[in-house]
Amino acid sequence: QISFFKSRYRIVAYEREDCGRSVTINFQPAYSNSAEDIALLVSKLGIHSHVIIGHSRGQEIAAVYYSRNPPGLKGFVAEGTGICVSPSSQTVKEAITEISKYRSGKINPRLSCFNGIQKHKEVLTKGLAMSNDQVTELMKYSCARWKPAPGIMGGTDIDISTKLKLISIPMLQIDGADYRKDRDRRQTMQNYYKNGRLHLIQKSGHIPHLEDSSEFNRLLSDFLKEIGFYAQDAIKKDEAEIPKKQ
């Protein structure tokens, strides 16, 4: 997606604290904390008009950010699974079980992460236009620092359902039709997103942006066009507001 959109849009890809190359500074994993980090990052980078895109747990963190109705946010794109809008005791219970296994040494989270992605290697190779070796290195990097965090695995720590109903910022959810069929995504959309819509990509699972990248890119492009988001104009505005050196 970065290679597809970068000629037209300014793209910022970030790694939250305790993930990838980001360092941990007194960080307490939680959706509300991660959403606050996004707000601080947007401010620090001097970003004005923007659209946020989140995948899997990232889309739930993005939903918390969206629920704050932040200044400059023009749209929200969610992908990967049904969005949780309030704390779930079942999700917390599942997280506690997994974390107990991790702490007792019964599971190796990095190996589990790698094996979980391994089955998608062919899709990743095609979607990213990389060689097998390049994708393997990317998978190793992605899983190298992953570890179960109670504040993330346990689902959202705050109830955003009421706030969501008051927000009219456009929202698009793109999911794979073959993933998590047990969740009624349309009901969530109708109940909580005032100006949202759902699109299911057929024959796709948890990573439709790679499993059918052309369809994902088309849907995202159409959405950005519909909401009138032209990033190059936003970049020019940002640059115009930066004082010139005398």
Summarised one tens digit per residue, pLDDT across range 179-238 is 777 666 677 777 888 898 889 888 888 888 888 888 999 999 999 999 999 755 444 444
pLDDT one-digit tens code per residue, 123-145: 777 766 778 888 788 777 767 65
pTM of the full structure: 0.77
Q: What was the pLDDT predicted at 50?
A: 95
Residue 244 amino acid letter: K
Q: What was the pLDDT predicted at 242?
A: 43
The whole-angstrom separation of Cα 173 and Cα 208 is 11
DSSP 3-state of 201: strand
Return phi, psi of residue 56, to 5°.
55, -125
Q: What was the pLDDT predicted at 244?
A: 41
What order do you get walking across the sheet with 50-55 strand by strand? Answer: 50-55, 73-79, 171-176, 196-201
